[in-house]
Amino acid sequence: MEFIPTKTIVSSYNENPNWFGINYNMNIYKGCCHGCIYCDSRSSCYQIVDFDRVRIKENAIEIIRKELQSKRKKGVIGTGAMSDPYNPFEGKYKLTRQALKLIDEYRFGIGIATKSNLITRDIDLLKRIQSHSPMIVKMTITTFDDKLCKKIEKNICTSNERFKAIKELSDNNIYTGVLLMPLLPFINDNEENIKNIIRKAYECGAKFVFTYGLGVTLRKNQREYYLEQLRKIFPKENLDKVYMETFGERYENPSPNSTHLWHIFKCECEKYNILYKMEDIINDYKNKYERKQISWF
């Protein structure tokens, strides 16, 4: 394992103030080995060389402690945007777990995005944080089909195992939902997939299912990697050519069926009484703390 020097780990999050009500961003690891073929963090704008190799930020826990001590405003710390906080090395190094202990100690909230069922290891800490501050777990599930999952997200647990994790978290009253994104045109952008994921999310006790754009965004480097993987995974379908003919080098690559799929998505969420609008999700997981403790923010 390589340890890399760093000055900051918990930074203010200004990118999109409405993104799950996140106030700060935290990445303890650099790079991710989960192998999602569509990963945006591979884009050249982030300048992460050898993205699939995980590195640890040196003295991460000491740095996080100092940063939390010095923050004047409490808030929700988001993690999982650039690298999954529950990569396979987390099992040994327990850095995400140690960071959660600090987040609990300094009474911040937490928003975790992951694709790993290792998160259930930390249910005890998530419960503690949730007892005083907003807490949300976003489990990304893009396909109901475990065989497809193993092709497009090859080094992580299957969708079925992620649903089991959602059930375990929900059974422990941890506020949990599904990030159903990206939808890859011509691959998982179909009605059956969306319906199955929402139904199963409901059965597992998920509070929300969120999707955005009903497609995939592709940037330099990320696009080349993605198209290369399509050639390897679907050699007969010529999907790389279909993508270039349909989207060229555009950043946004929506499903050709996106209007219909959005209608299905919305109807299914409403049928199961599952939240799907960002503002409703934020209100639902944050509001009771704001009412209880005006000074929290």
DSSP SS3 for 29: strand
- Pattern 257-296, binding to ligand SF4, x per CB under 6 A? ----------------------------------------
User: Nearer to ligand SF4 by C-beta: 84 or 122?
Assistant: 84
Smallest distance, Å, CB 42 to ligand SF4?
A: 7
Q: Do the strands 55-57 and 76-79 form a parallel or antiparallel pair, or are they unpaired?
A: unpaired
Short-list 56, 26, 49, 52, CA closest to 39:
52
Number of shown-chain residues binding ligand SF4 (CB under 6 A): 8
Smallest distance, Å, CB 176 to ligand SF4?
A: 17
The alpha carbons of the chain give a radius of gyration, in whole angstroms, of 19
User: Nearer to ligand SF4 by C-beta: 29 or 296?
Assistant: 29
Smallest distance, Å, CB 174 to ligand SF4?
A: 20
> 10 Å Cβ neighbour count for 14?
8
Residue type, 282: I
User: Nearer to ligand SF4 by C-beta: 48 or 174?
Assistant: 48
User: Nearer to ligand SF4 by C-beta: 57 or 115?
Assistant: 115
The order of strands in the sheet holding 135-140 is: 10-12, 24-26, 76-79, 109-114, 135-140, 176-179, 209-210
Find the binding residues for ligand SF4 in span 76-105 (CB under 6 A).
83-84
Smallest distance, Å, CB 48 to ligand SF4?
A: 10
Q: Do the strands 24-26 and 76-79 form a parallel or antiparallel pair, or are they unpaired?
A: parallel
Q: Which helix (H) or strand (E) holds 26?
A: strand 24-26
Smallest distance, Å, CB 182 to ligand SF4?
A: 9
User: Nearer to ligand SF4 by C-beta: 34 or 65?
Assistant: 34
- Pattern 201-240, binding to ligand SF4, x per CB under 6 A? ----------------------------------------
Give the orientation angle of helix 123-130 with respect to helix 95-105, to 10 degrees: 20
- Pattern 26-45, binding to ligand SF4, x per CB under 6 A? ------x-x-x--x-x----
Using CB under 6 A as the binding rule, whether residue 129 contacts ligand SF4 is answered as no
**CB distance 35 to 156 below 8 Å:** yes
3-state secondary structure 173-197: CCCEEEECCCCCCCCCCCHHHHHHH
Short-list 55, 103, 53, 45, CA closest to 78:
103
Smallest distance, Å, CB 277 to ligand SF4?
A: 23
Smallest distance, Å, CB 289 to ligand SF4?
A: 28
266, two tokens: 């919305």
When binding is defined by CB under 6 A, the residue of 57, 65, 74, 115 that contacts ligand SF4 is: 115
- Contact residues toward ligand SF4 (CB under 6 A) are 32, 34, 36, 39, 41, 83-84, 115
